[in-house]
């Protein structure tokens, strides 16, 4: 039986990890770019959702900026006619139709002969403050449906609802409501079968003052309000995030949490390098339900082992982590450790009745918060979030 999560495998190097650790995922989102360069070799065995990454047109500088991320994306997106027309103030419908047709035809060409393609993303631009993108997103949605209607075997569509540019677009109802209406209008106009919502400006594994009482509740309320506009059979997806995706799923607000693969638990709009190649290596600290930087962890672990009684279950987990710390210094080993932890956490949540998932997640995060509150802070000169307990706390209070 398939699990209830969708693995985000945007890089070809992600695919072996999906097949090894998440072989029964409900689906795997792969990009058209990775598909076109892979010759369909080593694809995830889960049902595929193909995303052509049109949202990378979000930034006008994508056609002029230097840098490996921009240049790679520009080389990809300029293969489709009129790509630069997407961001004009008055898009020409005939030219945009040629773009949409070319993108969606390219997906079909790249997946020719594959029987496990489940869904294709509707071409959409990320949501930004104001209404400047309403017209183009509706046009892209309408033209996608026109293309779909002409197919002998029409695929199923997922509508991307991606927030970008400014943080907190869902914090206030006055800002949320127009975005809910736009999403619902594009869902209907595109003939979509599902909706994927992610805030690309949100790193929920950070310590930000308004997360607990404003940012997280605003995203929860967006999903509640969007669900009222969508048909009950609609497929709904949220993330990838670190924990907010699990909250939305456990509370029954989405059918599938999108998950990272030990690489990124935040969605990055394509066009820039998703992570700095010099980013610090992190591993999961299971009892705290959070990540920590490996290079500074040993002194903290050893001190925590002295503080905790050996009868405390966390003592055993910290001891195992301390024993394997040198091994986990390598980035790929650390990545695998995070992915394994996350898989096991999901398995635990899936093992309880649906009605108990939110409470179980609350209890997990509550235990992590209580434990973290007893321990000394991480090295504030190295660790982005020195407080051991804060990640669990700000998620915990939004579980129920």
Contacts of 272 (CB under 8 A, 6+ apart): 67, 69, 70
Contact 55, 133 (CB under 8 A): no
Q: Where are the alpha helices (DSSP H) in the chain?
A: 15-21, 32-38, 68-77, 93-110, 134-149, 173-190, 216-229, 244-250, 297-307, 313-323, 331-350, 357-374, 390-396
Give the DSSP letter string of 191-213: T-SEEEEEETT--TTS--TTIII
* pLDDT for residue 277: 46
State how far the alpha carbon of 66 is from the alpha carbons of 55, 74, 86, 120, in Å.
19, 10, 20, 30
Q: Which residues contact 41 (CB under 8 A, 6 or more apart)?
A: none
Lookup: tokens for 388: 């051991």
DSSP of 123-158, one letter per residue?
P-PPB-SSSTTHHHHHHHHHHHHHHHHT-SSPPEEE
The Cα 198–Cα 162 span in angstroms is 5
The first and second tokens of residue 108, run together, are 């079909």
Rama region for 20: left / alpha / beta (φ>0; ψ in -120 to 50; rest): alpha
Which pLDDT score is estimated for 97?
97
Find the length of the chain: 400
For the chain, the domains span 6-259, 282-396
How much is the pTM? Answer: 0.96
Residue 255 Cα distances to 204, 223, 245, 312, 380, angstroms:
20, 11, 10, 35, 38
Rg from Cα positions in the chain = 21
Please tell me the predicted confidence (pLDDT) of residue 276.
Answer: 46
Instruction: Look at the block and give the residue holding tokens 């996608």.
Output: 144
> Each residue's pLDDT tens digit in the chain (400 positions)?
578 999 999 888 899 999 999 999 999 999 999 988 776 678 999 999 999 999 999 988 888 888 878 888 999 999 999 998 888 778 899 999 999 999 999 999 988 766 668 899 999 999 999 998 999 999 999 999 999 999 988 999 999 999 999 999 999 999 999 999 999 999 999 999 999 999 999 999 999 999 999 999 999 999 999 999 999 999 999 999 999 999 999 999 999 999 999 877 999 999 865 544 457 899 999 999 999 999 889 999 999 999 999 999 999 999 999 999 999 999 999 999 999 999 999 999 999 999 999 999 999 999 999 999 999 999 999 999 999 999 999 999 999 9
Distance in angstroms (rounded) separating the CA atoms of residues 263 and 336 = 9
Residue 180 has a pLDDT of 98
Q: What's the CA gap between 108 and 36, in Å, rounded?
A: 11
Cα of 261 vs its chain's centroid, Å: 10
Phi, psi dihedral angles at 369 (to 5 degrees): -65, -45
User: Cα 50 to chain center, whole Å?
Assistant: 15
CATH number given to 6-259: 3.20.20.70
Three-point CA angle 102, 63, 265, nearest 5°? 80
DSSP state of 88: S
Residues 123 and 86: their CA atoms lie apart, in Å, by 11
**pLDDT recorded at residue 61:** 84
Q: Which of 117, 145, 136 is nearest to 46 (CA)?
A: 117
């Amino acid at each position: 039986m398939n699990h209830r999560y969708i693995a985000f495998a945007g890089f070809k190097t992600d695919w072996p990890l999906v097949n090894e650790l998440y072989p029964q995922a409900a689906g795997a989102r792969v990009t058209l770019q990775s598909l076109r360069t892979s010759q369909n070799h080593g694809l995830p065995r889960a049902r595929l959702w193909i995303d052509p990454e049109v949202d990378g047109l979000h930034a006008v500088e994508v056609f002029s900026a230097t840098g490996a991320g921009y240049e790679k994306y520009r080389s990809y997106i300029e293969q489709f006619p009129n790509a630069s027309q997407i961001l004009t103030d008055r898009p020409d419908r005939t030219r945009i139709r040629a773009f949409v047709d070319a993108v969606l035809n390219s997906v079909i060409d790249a997946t020719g002969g594959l029987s496990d393609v489940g869904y294709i993303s509707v071409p959409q631009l990320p949501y930004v403050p104001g209404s400047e993108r309403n017209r183009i997103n509706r046009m892209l949605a309408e033209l996608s449906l026109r293309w779909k209607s002409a197919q002998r075997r029409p695929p199923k569509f997922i509508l991307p609802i991606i927030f970008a540019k400014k943080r907190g677009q869902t914090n206030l109802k006055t800002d949320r409501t127009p975005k809910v209406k736009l999403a619902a209008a594009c869902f209907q106009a595109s003939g979509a079968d599902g909706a994927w919502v992610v805030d690309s400006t949100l790193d929920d594994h950070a310590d930000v003052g308004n997360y607990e009482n404003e940012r997280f509740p605003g995203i929860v309320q967006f999903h509640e309000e969007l669900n009222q506009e969508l048909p009950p059979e609609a497929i709904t997806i949220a993330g990838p995030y670190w924990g907010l995706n699990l909250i939305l799923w456990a509370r029954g607000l989405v059918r599938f949490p999108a998950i990272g693969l030990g690489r990124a638990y935040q969605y990055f709009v394509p066009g820039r390098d998703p992570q700095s190649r010099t980013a610090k290596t992190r591993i999961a600290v299971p009892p705290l339900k959070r990540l920590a930087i490996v290079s500074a962890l040993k002194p903290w672990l050893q001190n925590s082992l002295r503080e905790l009684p050996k009868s405390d279950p966390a003592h055993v987990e910290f001891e195992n982590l301390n024993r394997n710390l040198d091994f986990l210094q390598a980035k790929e080993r650390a990545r695998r450790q995070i992915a394994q932890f996350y898989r096991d956490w999901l398995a635990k949540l899936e093992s309880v009745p649906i009605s108990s998932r939110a409470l179980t997640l609350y209890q997990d995060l509550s235990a992590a918060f209580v434990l973290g509150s007893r321990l000394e802070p991480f090295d504030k000169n190295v660790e982005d979030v020195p407080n051991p307990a804060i990640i669990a706390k700000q998620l915990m209070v939004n579980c129920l």
